[in-house]
Structure 1
Amino acid sequence: MAEIRHRFIETNGIRMHVAEAGEGFPVVFCHGFPELWYSWRHQLTALAEAGYRAIAPDMRGYGETDAPADPAQYTMKVLCADMAGLLDALGLERAVFVGHDWGGAVVWQMGLRYPGRVAAIVGLNTPYAPPSNRRTTEALRDYHGLTDATFYMRYFLKPGVAEAELEADIEKTFHKVFMDWTRAEDFTTFMTVGGDGSGVLARIPDDRRSFLSEEEIAVYVGAYRKTGFRGGLNWYRGADLNAEEADAPKGPQLHVPAMMITAADDTILKPEMAAAMPALIPGIRMEHLERCGHWTQQERPAEVNRLLLEFLGSLGLPRS
Structure 2
Amino acid sequence: NDLRMHFVEHSTPSKKNIPVVLCHGFPHTWFSWHRQLPALSNAGCKVLAPDMRGMGETSVPKDISAYDVDTICRDLTGLLDYLEIDKAVFVGLDFGAFAIYDLALRFPERVIAVIGLENPAAPHNPNKPPLAEYREMGADHFLHINYFCEKVGRADDDLLVRIDEFFPKVFWALSGEGNYFDTFKFPKETHYIDALNDPPSLPWNWLNIEEMQVFIESYRKSGFTGGLNWYRSMDIKWEQRKPYENVSSNIPAYFLGSENDVDLKGFHGDDPISLLRKQFPNLRAVEMVSSAGHLVQLEKSEEVNTALVRFIDDIREEL
TM-score higher than 0.5 here?
yes
Separation in 1 of the partners of 2:78 and 2:316?
25
The Cα shift of 1:149 comes to 5.4
In the alignment, is residue 69 of structure 1 matched against residue 62 of structure 2? yes
Q: Which one-letter code corresponds to 2:290 in the other structure? A: E
Deviations 1:206-260 (A, max 9, x none): 5435531000011011111111111100111111112333984343433210111
Report what 1:282 is aligned to: 281
Superposed counterparts of 1:1-320, under 5 Å: 12-23=1-12, 24-129=17-122, 133=126, 134-139=128-133, 145-147=137-139, 150-157=142-149, 158-179=151-172, 180-183=175-178, 185=179, 187-190=180-183, 192=184, 194-203=186-195, 204-208=197-201, 210=204, 211-245=206-240, 248-270=243-265, 272-276=270-274, 277-284=276-283, 285-316=285-316
Pair 123,246 (structure 1): closer, same or farther in 2 beyond 3 Å: closer
Percent of residue pairs identical: 35
Shift of 1:131: 6.5
- Code of the aligned partner of 1:287: E
Report the secondary structure of 1:14's partner residue.
coil
> Does the C-alpha gap of structure 1 residues 87 and 139 become closer, same or farther in structure 2, counting only changes over 3 Å?
farther
CA RMSD of aligned residues (A): 2.3
Contact conserved, 2:24 with 2:96, CA < 8 A, in 1? yes
2:235 alignment partner, SS class: helix
SS in 2 for 1:275: helix
Q: Distance in 1 between matches of 2:264 and 2:102?
A: 17
Deviates more, 1:129-138 or 1:49-58: 129-138
- Number of residue pairs matched? 303
One-letter code of the match for 1:152? H
Residues 22 and 129 of structure 1, relative CA distance in 2, 3 Å threshold: same
**Using the alignment, how far apart are the partners of 1:312 and 1:193 within structure 2?**
42
Find the aligned partners of 1:113 and 1:153 in 2 and give their Cα distance: 27
Whole-angstrom CA distance in 2 between matches of 1:140 and 1:91: 41
- For residues 261-307 of structure 1, what are the alpha-carbon distances to aligned partners after superposition, in whole Å with 9 as ceiling and x for unaligned? 12111122227552313344223111111211111111111111111
Cα distance in 2 for residues equivalent to 1:243 and 1:279: 18
Q: Secondary structure at the match of 2:263?
A: coil
Give the unaligned 5+ runs of structure 1. 1-11
Whether the aligned pair in 2 keeps the contact of 1:292 and 1:300 (CA below 8 Å) is yes
